[in-house]
Structure 1
Amino acid sequence: MLSFWERESLSKYDYVIIGGGIVGCSTAYHLKKKKPKAEIAIIERGVFPSGASSKNAGFACFGSLTELVDDRKGLSDDEQLTLVEKRWKGLLALRNILGEKNIGFEDNGGFEVIRKAELPALEYLDHYNQLLRSIFKKNVYSLKPNFINEFGFNKSDIETIVSNPFEGQIDTGKMMKSWWSLCSEMSIKIITGCELKGFEEKNDYVNLNCQSGNQSVQLQANKIAICTNAFAHKWFNQEDINPGRGMVLVTDPIEKLKFKGVFHYDEGYFYFRNVGNRVLIGGGRNLDKSTEDTVEFGINPKIKLAILHDLKELILPNQDFSIDMEWSGIMAFGAIKSPIIKKISDKIAIGVRLGGMGVAIGTQVGKELHELLADG
């Protein structure tokens, strides 16, 4: 139940952004830059972002070699080039807007572990170096077999390592803290613990029916943006938005950890990195896709077993370790890897389906989405 004062002064906005993750914050930020006098609110159902923005592995990446090779099945070279460029521009924008120090950015490089099954992908290494030269002006991928011993990996299971000097890593928590701080500094209202239950478009505005604890709250906005990634499917089931859960775990500190950087293997489905002297590892959704196509958080025992096996046998052979934490995040995928950025009506737009690349493209998606809302 709202008071008269709350209804008149606290519940009406020019723009309401649904979703307090990377895309939602970027959309609000760019709207406020373009329209400084606009009243803007971000509503987020959780205490923290509910999808993957504060639950991802913190990879500042744009695509491993085997992932790009696999994408050839559905994308032309021009389409792949466009997608990589969007990811790269998104990473640069994230670093520029928030500041590298504020997001814990580390320029340790990206790597791909190549086992026997992935060897055929190396035939495309020169092809992708040539293709991506228009963006990076130099070769992106190079072979570094000596890194197997240097990083302490199991050399009997690994054929070589592909190195990429343009990738890096961030602190996901610091990134979201910086986004929320920046939005607050710009007088963008952030309302957490506020879940959108439904919305209705009127002639001059959009009514939003929300739930905050046991209280029903109605907000009003001239225009709204839906930035809830996989969770947007409930409102737009005609769109190709499919959820994908990803699990992550992190070890306790490991004495004399030998590697730094971000690593992929198995066409990007598995990934690991250092966090200081800890190892963070996750992925494996491809082992049980039917179970992992869900918006429910949780840990899949089958995938966890595979991750722990690889951690012990592939990454940290003959080395003791213990697990500190495990968690999961919810991503969104579709038949194609490009995000959905579109107007649903004159008052409603969506920016969703980030394909597990939220860190890379989230900022850019928000920038493009704000243009749809700000025009007209």
Structure 2
Amino acid sequence: MNLSYWELKNWFSNIDYTIVGSGIVGLHCALALRENYPESTILILEKGILPEGASTKNAGFACFGSISEILDDLKSHSEEEVIQLIQKRWNGLQILRKNLGDAAIDFKPYGGYELFLKEEESSYNECLQKISFINEILKPIFRNDIFTKEIDRFDFNGIQDYLIFNPYEAQIDTGKMMHALLQKAVNNNIMILNQIEVKTFHDKKDSVEINLGDFTFHSKKLLFATNGFAGQLTKNQVRPAKAQVLITEPISNLDIKGTFHLDKGYYYFRNIDDRILIGGGRNLDFDGETTTQLGQTDLIQNRLEELLKEVILPNTEFKISHRWSGIMGMGSSKKPLVEQLSDNVYCGVRLGGMGVAIGSIVGKELAYLVN
């Protein structure tokens, strides 16, 4: 980096807080730090042109878990832990809406649906039988029943008779959300530098030395908000998980409206701009999708197209417009990791594929951890 005196003086000197990652967590962390420390110097470093992980690459679901996903979580987490997770997701969504406003994120409360393929009869029956139980344990959060069964009105093909509906689920425009967050950060005098990758760091007790390759600088505190990429530098128990997505060209008279889940949340689709966006499928190749390398694979893309053609749009011609992928952060627990790593280094990572829901609250928790 061939830096001038002015660049060193104004961008890399007397830094109080350096945040790595300009996604949902990093930006909410920076905004919370600004609120707590109005006179501080806050710098965000981002290795991509835009946030590299999933913040600008997700499907835009404002959700907290389908019923099959919740039942699956109950097999590896206690009932109390699952309720706490859902409470955190719900609170996080309210923070996001309050911080940015519904218009800025294009919030649309169309509700969410779960559908079950014909061959998923056992899972389907279990979910129908457990609706009352799940509604009961979630009543302290929502005060009302969450899940109800509804007849399919969308003319899906090859699925069980009933969909399970959740009126509290909504959809947002991910790009508008991140644009609004970035604008708010800039308006609050938070510096954001893109295409800069942290190579190593050393906690020096009174500050952290941050190495960017051919240049080092010092910051009083260093905070990692890199989610699926966290394991590379922080050595945390975070596994990257690639999520593949595709979107159709506009479809005339598209009648599908809402957010939709299949197979414990491993597949998901929605309407957007008269198109269908569909993603998921990492359960077809868990090992191959445990990667920080972006890109698509024929195995998963073919399955997404197959679901579009045979289940979602069986009587409609469509063309694929675009494909992409993003990197999530997973682990043995769905609970996010918000912790202090050393005297002056902290992290807020492992969002478990729920970044839209919990990114705001994890960012705030990360900021409050710093003293």
Give me the TM-score of the superposition, normalised by structure 2: 0.96
Partner of 1:283: 280
1:158 Cα deviation from its structure 2 partner: 2.8
**Aligned mates of 1:248, 1:137 — CA distance in 2:** 35
1:312 and 2:309 matched? yes
**Aligned mates of 1:124, 1:217 — CA distance in 2:** 57
* Aligned partner (choices 297, 312, 337) of residue 300 of structure 1: 297
The gaps in structure 2 that reach 5 residues or longer are: none
1:151 and 2:154 matched? yes
RMSD, matched Cα: 1.1
1:230 Cα deviation from its structure 2 partner: 1.3
**Aligned mates of 1:3, 1:307 — CA distance in 2:** 50
Alignment map for 1:1-376 (pairs within 5 Å): 1-12=2-13, 13-116=15-118, 117=120, 118-119=123-124, 120-145=126-151, 148=152, 150-154=153-157, 156-211=158-213, 216-237=214-235, 239-373=236-370, 375=371
**Aligned mates of 1:328, 1:79 — CA distance in 2:** 30
Q: Secondary structure at the match of 1:16?
A: strand
Report if aligned partners of 1:225, 1:349 keep a CA contact under 8 Å in 2: yes
**Aligned mates of 1:349, 1:267 — CA distance in 2:** 32
**Aligned mates of 1:283, 1:164 — CA distance in 2:** 20
Q: What is the aligned-residue identity percentage?
A: 43
The gaps in structure 1 that reach 5 residues or longer are: none
Report if aligned partners of 2:203, 2:342 keep a CA contact under 8 Å in 1: no
- With 264-273 and 194-203 compared, the bigger mean Cα shift is at 194-203
Q: Paired residues, what number?
A: 365
**Aligned mates of 1:327, 1:9 — CA distance in 2:** 36
**Aligned mates of 1:304, 1:9 — CA distance in 2:** 46
Q: Secondary structure at the match of 2:52?
A: coil
Report if aligned partners of 1:208, 1:218 keep a CA contact under 8 Å in 2: yes
**Aligned mates of 2:5, 2:225 — CA distance in 1:** 30
**Aligned mates of 2:315, 2:57 — CA distance in 1:** 29
Q: Secondary structure at the match of 2:206?
A: coil
1:64 Cα deviation from its structure 2 partner: 0.2
1:210 Cα deviation from its structure 2 partner: 1.5
Deviations 1:155-177 (A, max 9, x none): x4333100001010011111111
**Aligned mates of 1:2, 1:242 — CA distance in 2:** 35
Structure 1 residues 5 and 203, CA gap change in structure 2 (3 angstroms)? farther
Report if aligned partners of 1:200, 1:207 keep a CA contact under 8 Å in 2: yes
